[in-house]
């Protein structure tokens, strides 16, 4: 049997088997998510499901390490991330306290050499070595950014786990194309672990992953994308950004929105993409499946970006940007008054505007 299949089966089966035990453990220690005005569920739900993902990924990692040379700093760092998330799920840490754990985890993998190394300039044959401090700076903020982006989209049953599976699948395919065997195996381990958990997490969820899981998934995706695309080119520089476009866009819009409203960046609100979809009339499942769909689109676009020539890549990237802009405007992720593309379209279609005005009259 193929080592790829074995890796997937090990992580998937262990994840499925461990979830019921984690549910019982969460209830025993009182690690449950209590409904409030920001939550969409109406009864207490266990919320340390990320423990199952971690256990499955850890065992998968150990199996892969028997035939692939891996950086064990990844496991040390993910353990710190999981502990940080677990403590937050049980005792509610302050944002800066969670940031300390994330910073320590990022520092561990970066100290082990997992950072961007080269930039290949278009039309030149030679790669340019990136200054070590610039490489560490960019890689550090990438890890923190993606980690918190996945954490912020974890607002609906199965959303963060599903989006992470799609992103990890895109990284897996890209790793196979680029010959990055170790990244492919680790991505597959993450897919199996998250998919096993998703069975219990899809609406109506029996368990939430909590920060234990969302921080873990975000951290692993950020690290895998770094080691998978360490030699950055004109095209591959944007590939991990496109793969993770959904959580990154949602987080960026949240920051902009809160700044415009003179709120603190860490202040919570109900204007994330999944909230806006629910407000627009989507059911819980429809909202999650819609975000899955656009995540698949972004993942496929990233793969096409790598395989296409420069001209085709530019066209694909423009289409990706247009879709992101339309999502922002249609679902008012920045605000009701931010609709430049829609306003332009209305100006170019005066008949449509006239018909709408007559209806309103």
Question: Which pLDDT score is estimated for 118?
Answer: 66
Tell me the per-residue pLDDT of 314-356, one tens digit each, with 9 for 90 and over: 888 889 999 999 999 999 888 888 889 888 888 887 665 554 4
Tell me the per-residue pLDDT of 247-267, one tens digit each, with 9 for 90 and over: 889 989 988 888 888 887 777
Tell me the per-residue pLDDT of 311-323, one tens digit each, with 9 for 90 and over: 887 888 889 999 9
CA 291 – CA 244 distance, rounded (Å): 12
For residues 240 and 225, is the Cβ–Cβ distance under 8 A? yes
List C-alpha distances in Å: 348 to 131, 322, 344, 351, 352.
48, 17, 6, 9, 9
Tell me the per-residue pLDDT of 199-217, one tens digit each, with 9 for 90 and over: 999 999 999 999 999 999 9
Whether omega for the bond prior to residue 55 falls within 30 degrees of 0, making it cis, is: no
CA 222 – CA 215 distance, rounded (Å): 11
* Range in 64-73, 270-279, 293-302 the model is least confident about: 270-279
* Range in 56-65, 125-134, 169-178, 301-310 the model is least confident about: 125-134
Report the C-alpha dihedral over residues 315, 318, 319, 323, rounded to 10 degrees.
Answer: 170
For residues 333 and 253, is the Cβ–Cβ distance under 8 A? yes
Q: What percent of the chain is modeled with pLDDT above 90?
A: 53
| Three-state secondary structure call for residue 202 | coil
DSSP state of 119: E
Nearest to residue 61, comparing CAs of 7, 19, 9?
A: 7
Question: Which pLDDT score is estimated for 234?
Answer: 45
- Position 122 pLDDT exceeds 80: no
pLDDT band at residue 283 using 50, 70 and 90 as cut-offs: very high
In the block, residue with structure tokens 């890796």: 7
- Give mean pLDDT, residues 18-33: 94
- Give mean pLDDT, residues 106-110: 96
Which has more confidence, 193 or 355?
A: 193
CA 7 – CA 331 distance, rounded (Å): 39
pTM: 0.89
CA 324 to mean position of chain CA atoms: 16
Report the length, in residues, of the chain. Answer: 361
CA 72 – CA 148 distance, rounded (Å): 23
CA 345 – CA 353 distance, rounded (Å): 10
Phi, psi of 322 (to 5 degrees): -65, -40
In the block, residue with structure tokens 């866009």: 249
Question: Which pLDDT score is estimated for 123?
Answer: 45
- Give mean pLDDT, residues 183-188: 96
For residues 78 and 105, is the Cβ–Cβ distance under 8 A? yes
> Over the chain, what is the mean pLDDT?
87
pLDDT band at residue 293 using 50, 70 and 90 as cut-offs: very high
List C-alpha distances in Å: 54 to 126, 186, 341.
40, 13, 43
- Position 25 pLDDT exceeds 80: yes
């Amino acid at each position: 049997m193929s080592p790829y299949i074995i890796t997937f089966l090990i992580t998937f089966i262990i994840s499925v088997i461990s979830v019921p035990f984690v549910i019982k453990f969460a209830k025993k220690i009182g690690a449950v998510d209590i409904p409030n005005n920001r939550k969409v569920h109406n009864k207490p739900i266990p919320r340390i499901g990320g423990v199952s993902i971690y256990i499955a990924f850890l065992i998968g990692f150990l199996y892969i390490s028997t035939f692939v040379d891996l950086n064990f700093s990844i496991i040390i760092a993910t353990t710190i991330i999981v502990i940080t998330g677990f403590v937050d799920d049980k005792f509610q840490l302050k944002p800066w306290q969670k940031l300390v754990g994330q910073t320590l985890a990022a520092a561990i993998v970066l100290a082990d050499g997992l950072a961007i190394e080269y930039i290949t300039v278009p039309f030149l044959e030679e790669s340019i070595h990136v200054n070590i401090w610039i490489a560490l700076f960019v890689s550090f903020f990438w890890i923190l950014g993606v980690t918190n982006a996945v954490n912020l989209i974890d607002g609906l049953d199965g959303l963060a786990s599903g989006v992470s599976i799609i992103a990890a699948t895109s990284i897996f395919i890209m790793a196979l194309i680029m010959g990055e065997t170790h990244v492919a195996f680790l991505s597959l381990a993450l897919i199996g672990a998250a998919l096993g958990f998703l069975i219990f997490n899809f609406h109506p969820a029996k368990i939430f992953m909590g920060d234990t899981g969302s921080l873990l998934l975000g951290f692993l995706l950020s690290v895998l994308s770094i080691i998978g695309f360490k030699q950055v080119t004109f095209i591959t520089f944007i590939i991990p950004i496109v793969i993770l476009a959904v959580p990154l866009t949602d987080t960026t819009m949240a920051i902009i929105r809160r700044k415009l409203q003179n709120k603190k960046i860490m202040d919570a609100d109900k204007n994330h993409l999944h909230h806006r979809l629910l407000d627009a009339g989507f059911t819980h499942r429809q909202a999650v499946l819609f975000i899955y769909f656009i995540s698949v689109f972004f993942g496929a676009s990233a793969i096409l970006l790598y395989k296409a020539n420069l001209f085709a890549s530019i066209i694909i990237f423009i289409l990706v940007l247009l879709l992101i802009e339309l999502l922002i405007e249609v679902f008012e992720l920045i605000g009701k008054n931010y609709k430049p593309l829609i306003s332009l379209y209305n100006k170019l279609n005066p008949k449509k505007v006239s018909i709408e005005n007559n209806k309103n009259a």
